[in-house]
Structures are given as C-alpha cells and as structure tokens.
C-alpha cells in the first residue's frame, strides 16, 4: 500500500463514520463564529487598520521577533495589554493555538506534572505532547479530583511543581470553571495555574477583562487571552510575570523560530482592547441575546448554559450533521461538532450567540430547530 492509498482509505473511513470534514465559506445568519461582540467587521477596527496602512506601516514583519521582526507596534500592544489586564507582562503570538502550544511545551519542566481539565483545548494537548513534563487529566470542573490527583503524585515522592490547567469558559460546553476554587487549590499545594480565557475575554468581567481577572498579576498564574474571538482580530496574548515572559522569549522554540505576527494586526488588536474597555453596551446587548436564546430554546428541552455558547447535544454523528445541514438550508449558519473535537457520543450543534444577529433571528432559529427536531 502506498502512502497515498493509506491516506485515501483513512479519508474514506472518516466519510463512512460521518466524520469527514470540508472547508465551507460562511453563509446565512451567524450562529457559528466566535465574533461574539460583532467587532470583526466593525468600522472602528477597519479605521485603525486603514490609518496604519496610510501611515506606511508594513504588512509583514519580515522575520522572527529576535531577528528583524520585532516592530514597535508589537511592543506597544504588549505594554497596553499588560496595563489593561493588570499583568506584569504580555507576549503577543500569532494565534491561540501557537500560544497554548508554546506555554505548555516550554514552562513546565522535567520533574513537574501538568494536571488538566479533561475538556481543555486541543492546543493545550499539543503543547503537553511536546512538554518535558508528563500530564494527567481530571474530571471536568472537578477541583477535588484535581486535588486528589496531585496528592497521589506527591505520595509517590514527586517533588516538582504541579501545574493546574483549565479554561474559564469551555468552548464546546459553555460552562464556567470554578476559578476561585482552583486558585485556592494552587495556593494550598504550591501549584502554578495555566488559565485559558479564550472565550471569556471581551465578553466577561469588568471592561471585558475575562472571568479570571482577579488572578492577573499573580506570580503563579499564566493566562491566555486570544484576540481572534470577541476582540474581532487574530493572535493571542500570554499574560504572566516578567520572568516567565522572558523565559518564553529565550527558551520557547515556538516563539524563537516563528516569523512575528503582522505589525498591522498588532495595531488593530491594540485598538480592540480600547474598544472592549468601553463596550459595556455591547456586552449588555449580548446578555439580552443570551437571555432571549434561553427563553426560546427552553421549550425544546434545551438546558441553558447561561453563556453565549449553547450546545445542543444530539449524540449521533450522522443525525447531528443532517440537522445542521437542514438549518443551513434555511439560512442559519449552524455547524455540527463531532468527535474528536468533543467526546464520543456527544456530537452536537454548537450555537454561538453573537451580536451579528438580532433577537428576531434568534426566535426564527429556535422555531426552525423545533420543526426539524
């Protein structure tokens, strides 16, 4: 069998299991993007990009940050982000995937152990695969399970540092983490915290600083704030102490050997931070959308998560994709989510509530979903 034959057969197995994926352009009312505050196409971010280009700013960085790719715009964004999030330091990466991979593969050391929520992002798993430290999953949002796992590890004579990793708002379930309890556990056992705020930044907390804003500035906490979701741009910010940021610059292969993000994007992200700081009106409007979705979906037997991420668990892969296709045919951009993105047997529709739709459209989606179900 040739390599092409192997890949061809593997793709056919995916088709037979209703797990084959294809790229598809956006079409219909937005119930699938992470552009929660509707900023991706906003005039204010367009203007920031236009002004920077008119001022002669280059599109590309031309190299890694440690060579010629370190632009003033990168440093200005990082300084602004550190101030906004009240963190000692900030480091800008090209994507949330790159940032998570960098953090998990670089900071925990041999002799340490990473204890992570079982539903944590795939990018965290990729970083753990590259890490010097072994990893262990604990049950979703179960602080006691994490504590027990750390205790068992210590009982075996381990003397390294435990790292506790979780998301503050889970991307496929819409559930919030017990953040304060994890912080208390870290204090009790001398652990470091790796906190992924990807789906909370911009939407949650005072001025959109996220659900874990109270942890910013702690030496034992590293936080990921992505820029490609509610901020409407792309890239990610790693918030940490100055020492850990310096360590990532000097030891993080994903940083050292990557071409720097576009300075133009750094300008737009910086502007977006200013926008979300004064976007209480947008957050209030989104809260109204979430409440509306809860009311109209409840008669369908769908339990609300209370957040802007609402899964509709269907279980069967084929049925999930049929229902998603039926909704798309009616003009609603709803996507089916299947394993391995979610656990086996939990295929679902992921309804993303954003400001790119109005309340009437939310009502119409619920009516269509009810008819199809």
Task: Give the integer Cα–Cα distance in Å for 29 and 13.
Answer: 32
Whether 167 is covered by a domain: the verdict is: yes
Are 77 and 92 a contacting pair, CB within 8 Å?
Answer: yes
CA 18 to chain CA centroid, Å, is: 26
Which of the residues 29, 74, 216, 229 is marked catalytic?
229
Which of the residues 35, 80, 167, 333 is marked catalytic?
167
Told to judge if 140 belongs to the known catalytic residues of this protein, a careful annotator would answer no
Which of the residues 29, 32, 34, 352 is marked catalytic?
34
Same domain, 134 and 179: yes
Told to judge if 196 belongs to the known catalytic residues of this protein, a careful annotator would answer yes
Told to judge if 289 belongs to the known catalytic residues of this protein, a careful annotator would answer no
Domain boundary residue, one of 243, 277, 311: 277
**What range does the domain containing 321 cover?**
24-40+280-372
pLDDT in tens, the chain (373 residues): 899 999 999 989 999 988 888 888 888 999 999 999 999 999 999 999 999 999 999 999 999 999 999 999 999 999 999 999 999 999 999 999 999 999 999 999 999 999 999 999 999 999 999 999 999 999 999 999 999 999 999 999 999 999 999 999 999 999 999 999 999 999 999 999 999 999 999 999 999 999 999 999 999 999 999 999 999 999 999 999 999 999 999 999 999 999 999 999 999 999 999 999 999 999 999 999 999 999 999 999 999 999 999 999 999 999 999 999 999 999 999 999 999 999 999 999 999 999 999 999 999 999 999 999 9
We report the CATH number of the domain holding residue 115 as 3.40.640.10
Domain boundary residue, one of 277, 312, 347: 277
We report the CATH number of the domain holding residue 324 as 3.90.1150.10
Whether 6 is covered by a domain: the verdict is: no
pTM above 0.85, yes or no: yes
Told to judge if 131 belongs to the known catalytic residues of this protein, a careful annotator would answer no
Same domain, 89 and 139: yes
Same domain, 184 and 241: yes
Tokens 């983490």 correspond to 177
Same domain, 201 and 109: yes
Count of the separate structural domains present in the chain: 2
Same domain, 333 and 239: no
Domain boundary residue, one of 229, 251, 277: 277
Which of the residues 121, 216, 289, 308 is marked catalytic?
121
Same domain, 161 and 243: yes
For 292, other C-beta atoms within 10 Å of its C-beta total: 17
Which of the residues 199, 216, 289, 308 is marked catalytic?
199
Told to judge if 274 belongs to the known catalytic residues of this protein, a careful annotator would answer no
Which of the residues 123, 135, 141, 171 is marked catalytic?
171
Residues 6 or more apart in contact with residue 120 via CB below 8 angstroms: 165, 166, 167, 196
Pairing of strands 135-138, 335-337: unpaired
Nearest residue to 337 (alpha-carbon basis) of 316, 358, 361, 368: 316
Whether 100 is covered by a domain: the verdict is: yes
Whether 155 is covered by a domain: the verdict is: yes
Told to judge if 199 belongs to the known catalytic residues of this protein, a careful annotator would answer yes
Nearest residue to 132 (alpha-carbon basis) of 159, 154, 105, 157: 105
Told to judge if 171 belongs to the known catalytic residues of this protein, a careful annotator would answer yes
């Amino acid at each position: 069998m040739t390599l092409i034959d192997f890949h061809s057969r593997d793709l056919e197995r995916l088709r037979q299991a209703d797990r084959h994926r294809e790229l598809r352009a956006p079409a219909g009312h937005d119930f699938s993007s992470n552009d929660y505050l509707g900023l991706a196409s906003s005039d204010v971010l367009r203007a920031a990009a236009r002004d920077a280009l008119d001022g002669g700013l280059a599109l590309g960085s031309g190299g890694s940050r440690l060579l010629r790719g370190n632009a003033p715009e990168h440093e200005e964004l990082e300084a602004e982000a550190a101030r906004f999030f009240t963190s000692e330091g900030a480091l800008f990466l090209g994507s949330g995937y790159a940032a998570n991979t960098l953090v998990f593969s670089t900071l925990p050391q041999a002799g340490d152990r990473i204890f992570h929520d079982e539903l944590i992002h795939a990018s965290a798993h990729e970083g753990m695969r590259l890490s010097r430290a072994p990893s262990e999953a604990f049950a979703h949002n179960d602080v006691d399970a994490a504590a027990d796992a750390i205790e068992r590890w210590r009982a075996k004579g381990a003397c390294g540092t435990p790292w506790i990793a979780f998301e503050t708002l889970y991307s496929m379930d819409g559930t919030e983490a017990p953040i304060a309890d994890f912080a208390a556990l870290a204090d009790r056992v001398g652990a470091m915290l790796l906190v992924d705020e990807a789906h909370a930044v911009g939407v949650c907390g005072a001025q959109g600083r996220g659900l874990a804003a109270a942890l910013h500035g702690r030496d034992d906490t590293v936080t990921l704030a992505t820029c490609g979701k509610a901020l409407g741009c792309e890239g990610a910010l790693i918030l940490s102490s100055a020492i850990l940021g310096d360590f990532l610059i000097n030891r993080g292969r994903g940083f050292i050997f990557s071409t720097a993000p576009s300075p133009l994007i750094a300008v737009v992200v910086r502007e977006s931070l200013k926008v979300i700081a004064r976007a209480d009106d947008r957050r209030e409007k989104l809260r109204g959308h979430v409440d509306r979705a809860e009311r109209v979906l409840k008669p369908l037997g769908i339990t609300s998560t209370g957040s802007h991420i609402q899964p509709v668990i269907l279980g069967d892969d084929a049925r999930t994709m049929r229902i998603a296709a039926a909704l798309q045919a009616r003009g609603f951009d709803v996507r089916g989510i299947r394993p391995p993105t979610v656990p086996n047997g939990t295929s679902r529709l992921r309804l993303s509530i954003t400001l790119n739709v109005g309340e009437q459209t939310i009502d119409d989606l619920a009516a269509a979903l009810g008819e199809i179900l």
